[in-house]
Amino acid sequence: MKKIHFGVFLSLVLVLGFCSSCKEQKSNNKLLLNEVLVNNESNFQDDYGLHSAWIEIFNKSYGSADLAGCYLKFSSQPGDTASYFIPKGDVLTVIKPRQHALFWTDGEPRRGTFHTNFKLDPTNTNWIGLYDSGKKLLDQIVIPVGTLKANQSYARVSDAADQWEVKGGSSDKYVTPSTNNKTIDSNAKMEKFAEHDSNGIGMAISAMSVVFSGLLLLFVSFYVVGKLSVNLSKRNAMKAKGITNKQEAKEKQLGQAPGEVFAAIAMAMHEFQSDVHDVEDTVLTITRVKRSYSPWSSKIYTLRETPHKK
């Protein structure tokens, strides 16, 4: 009986695991298709000065991603799919974190790494797919026919967002090749602050309040630290003299240094920092003069007697 129950339990676990694996999972890929322009009449120009359709790829991660070895695939008719292999060996295929790469779909791969061997078709529905080096689908997009007019792009609302929209039809939704799909032209906090304090009086009062509060806090801190230091000095002096009566210690001024001491210390520090004191060198060096001996200068080898004449 136990074996039957165990078998039923194991079967349920396998079924639940299979069902969970069949569910649609959110993609964790670094590279995504971000913006596509199908019909380029007077929009962005390529490095040859030509107006061609383009595909923008976005690296949504915070680390670099390499497109080398990946595939860009395109189809406008059933059963007709073009595939472009992104060459290896080009350092420009490495996309920096949160940056973009632009591929020109001009059908001229000999013009460079970022020129594909296919062209987008503005008269038909365009399917575009991005695959990794193992031909695993990373991202795909379908642009229905008639969705875009000339110089309009089909793009995500913001980089790596799930929603897509048509850009280029109004001034607030403009085409953004090789840059963020959504740019912020204003600062909402600054505008709100300017609305409530146009002359800056509130800002001035706030800034002065912060400064004076900081100065007051510093004064209180130094005052408290000074009091604690004096009390600790008195306590150590009483302990060293063996006095326990605070009144007696106060009469003898234990732990209190006269003002002359502080004045002398301050003057010494001032002179030391300003280099106004004299510096005397009292080191005497005595060097013995050494003469080298030479028989040519020795007196014992000189003539003492006059030679006799015969």
Boundaries of every domain in the chain: 26-185, 186-246
At position 303, the amino acid (one-letter code) is L
Give me the torsion for CA of 221, 222, 223, 224, rounded to 10°: 50
Only one residue has tokens 């406008």, namely 76
Closest by alpha carbon to 70, among 49, 54, 84, 51?
84
Name the DSSP class of 288. -
Closest by alpha carbon to 71, among 79, 81, 60?
81
Only one residue has tokens 């061997």, namely 117
Per residue of the chain (310 residues), give pLDDT as tens. Answer: 444 554 544 454 444 454 444 333 344 489 999 999 999 999 899 999 999 999 999 999 999 999 999 999 999 987 789 999 999 999 999 999 999 999 999 999 999 999 999 999 999 999 999 999 999 999 999 999 999 999 999 999 999 999 999 999 888 889 999 999 987 776 777 777 777 787 888 888 889 999 999 999 999 999 999 888 878 877 887 777 777 777 777 777 666 666 777 788 888 888 777 765 555 556 666 677 666 666 666 665 555 666 666 6
CA–CA distance, 74 with 142 (Å, rounded to integer)? 10
CA–CA distance, 199 with 137 (Å, rounded to integer)? 57
CA distance readout (Å), 82 to 173, 247, 299: 31, 101, 113
Q: Residue 130: is it exposed, middle or buried by C-beta count within 10 angstroms (0-12/13-18/19+)?
A: buried
The CATH code that applies to domain 26-185 is 2.60.40.1260
**CA 231 to mean position of chain CA atoms:** 49
The tokens for 108 are 């001229």
Give me the torsion for CA of 22, 25, 31, 35, rounded to 10°: 100
Decide if 102 contacts 177 (C-beta within 8 A).
Answer: yes
Closest by alpha carbon to 58, among 156, 154, 159, 140?
159
Chain length of the chain: 310
